[in-house]
């Protein structure tokens, strides 16, 4: 059984990962771009809020940058794991293809050997069917059978 401290650390780690991923998805959305664009236009409407908005902007940057880095690292771990699994699957497929190729080479070598042996046999000019003999002539000699 796991210790309560280990369980607590695991829960905290999962919570941190979940928050980092959610923040990465939030800050990476187009709606966040629109919100920050509107936020950047506020000093044009209310110039006296510029210092306060600058402070808020700096706070957002100080929180968002580390959160984005952690979220990107977590998301890339998933991509790395998928890439590793894909690599292992492709290596297995490659091994199967190599085995099939070796089998095909053996079969084609046997066919080539049989064909070579058949071509090296002397040509038969006399064909015997039951008690009759048929003599095949050479077409170059002018015989037609």
Cα–Cα distance measured from residue 109 to residue 102, given in angstroms and rounded to the nearest whole number? 10
Spatial CA neighbour of 38 closest among 30, 61, 59:
30
Which string of DSSP letters, residue by residue, matches 90-109? HHHHHHHHHHHHHHHHHHHH
pTM comes to 0.48
Which backbone phi and psi does 44 adopt, to 5 degrees?
-70, -35
Separation CA 6–CA 122 (nearest Å): 84
pLDDT by residue, tens only, the chain of 145 residues: 667 777 777 888 889 888 888 888 888 889 989 998 998 888 888 888 888 988 988 998 898 888 888 888 888 888 888 999 999 999 999 999 999 999 998 888 878 777 777 777 766 666 566 666 565 655 555 544 4
DSSP state of 140: G
The pLDDT score that the predictor gives to residue 96 is 93
Q: Which of 82, 97, 80, 72 is nearest to 20 (CA)?
A: 72
**56 close to 103: Cβ distance less than 8 angstroms:** no
Classify each residue of 2-22 as buried b or exposed e, where b means 16 or more C-beta atoms within 10 Å of its C-beta.
eeeeeeeeeeeeeeebeebbe
């Amino acid at each position: 059984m796991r210790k309560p401290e280990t369980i607590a650390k695991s829960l905290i780690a999962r919570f941190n990962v979940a928050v980092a991923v959610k923040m990465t998805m939030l800050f990476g959305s187009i709606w966040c771009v629109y919100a920050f664009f509107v936020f950047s236009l506020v000093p044009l409407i209310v110039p006296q809020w510029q210092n306060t908005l600058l402070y808020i902007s700096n706070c957002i940057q100080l929180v968002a940058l580390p959160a984005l880095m952690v979220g990107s690292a977590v998301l890339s771990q998933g991509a790395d794991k998928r890439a590793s699994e894909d690599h292992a699957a492709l290596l297995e497929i490659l091994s199967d293809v190599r085995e099939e190729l070796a089998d095909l080479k053996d079969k084609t070598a046997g066919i080539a050997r049989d064909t070579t042996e058949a071509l090296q046999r002397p040509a038969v000019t006399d064909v015997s069917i039951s008690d009759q003999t048929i003599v095949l002539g050479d077409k170059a000699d002018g015989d037609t059978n």
